[in-house]
Amino acid sequence: MIVEGYELPKYSVLMSVYDQELPENLNQSLESMLKQSYPPSDFVLVCDGKLTNALDVIVKSFQNEYKDIFRIVRIDENVGAGKAVNKGIKACRYEYIVRMDSDDVSLRGRCMKEMFLFAVKPELDIVGSFVEEFDDLTDKTLTLKRVPLEQKEILSYSKQRNPFNRQTVAFRKSKALKVGGYSDLKLCEDYDFAVRMLADGAKGQNIPEVLVRYRVSESTPKIRSSWRLTKGFIAVRWKLFTEGYIGLRDFFTPCFLQLILFIFPMRFTRWFYRKFLRDTKITPPTAEVLGRDQK
């Protein structure tokens, strides 16, 4: 496809799924990626352990419908997101890989816009965008999660939190393999991956539009304030500190805030995310991007 005089590169989509995913969510996620305005030339689905019969039905139906591009990598036992994604990266056929979670929804123009950015700026190694958080039950828009746009801001922000919304990331396969892919961390492996890419000299940029809808359920605040996530967050920040990427202040401050979220009631977590980490005011340009009839 040629857009504004630039030939868009072919790309692979990489998704992993495990047996706790809801079939209807997986179906919607797969459909949103396979029906992009600029469709993928390759789709790798990593099954992280044995799936339920209902999930297998969904997977096989897409495999039959998109037999020319849809490939399945099966892992006998659940190995976790990082290891599963690494197997997928190696299996992808193209240099540009678009990541996708198995329960989120991409807007139809997502991949065209990300590949256009790679075409216009071939020096880039990793790109992403804003995300819209929506209620799992009502489909209602809840908040907008913005991220820094340019390299300088991205590097600065990475000292505190992930400068890319993981649900929106696309990256170069060769650069990902060069840094060793994703780590074996149980949580926050996407943050660790982004930092290692940047530390190795990767150039990044975020598109100031919503290109992915992120599903939020009643359990989301509980997960965000759980001890499991708190331990994972502290673990990745300790790793970054011992590797010299961040200083003591950059290690301590975010960890302290995460511990506050763990200690305080869930209603505080909801308030904190909406007040400091999310935007509840969707501006007209963003609302236009979110149009469900976007081509």
Per residue in 61-93, pLDDT tens?
999 999 999 999 999 999 999 999 999 999 999
| Contact yes or no for 107/204 (Cβ under 8 A) | no
Q: In whole angstroms, what is the distance from residue 173 CA to residue 226 CA?
A: 33
Identify the pLDDT of residue 276. 73
Q: Where exactly are the structural domains of the chain?
A: 2-215, 218-280
Q: What is the model's pLDDT at position 88?
A: 98
Overall residue count recorded for the chain in this entry: 295
- For tokens 């940047």, the residue is 198
**Which amino acid, residue 181?**
G
How far, in Å, CA of 104 to CA of 217, rounded?
12
pLDDT at position 220, please?
Answer: 82
Report d(CA 13, CA 44) in Å as an integer.
6
pLDDT digits (tens, 9 = 90+) for 216-246: 987 788 888 899 899 999 999 999 999 999 9
Name beta bridge partners: 71. Answer: 44
* Cα–Cα separations (whole angstroms), residue 241 to 50, 160, 237, 245, 266: 36, 11, 6, 6, 29
Residue 113 has pLDDT above 70, yes or no: yes
pLDDT > 90: percent of the chain: 82
Q: What global pTM score does this model have?
A: 0.91
pLDDT confidence bin for 47, thresholds 50/70/90: very high
- CATH homologous superfamily of 2-215 equals Spore Coat Polysaccharide Biosynthesis Protein SpsA; Chain A (3.90.550.10)
Share the mean pLDDT of the chain: 92
Q: What is the pLDDT of residue 282?
A: 58
Q: What is the pLDDT of residues 251-289, one digit of tens each?
A: 999 999 999 999 988 888 878 877 777 777 655 334 333
- The candidate with the shortest Cα–Cα distance to 163, out of 191, 188, 193, is 191
SS3 53: helix
How far is the C-alpha of 113 from the C-alpha of 214, rounded, in Å?
18
pLDDT at residue 73 in the model: 97
Sign of the torsion formed by the C-alpha atoms of 78, 79, 82 and 84: negative
Report the pLDDT value the prediction gives residue 256, as an integer from 0 to 100. 94
Distance between CA atoms of 200 and 3, rounded to whole angstroms? 31
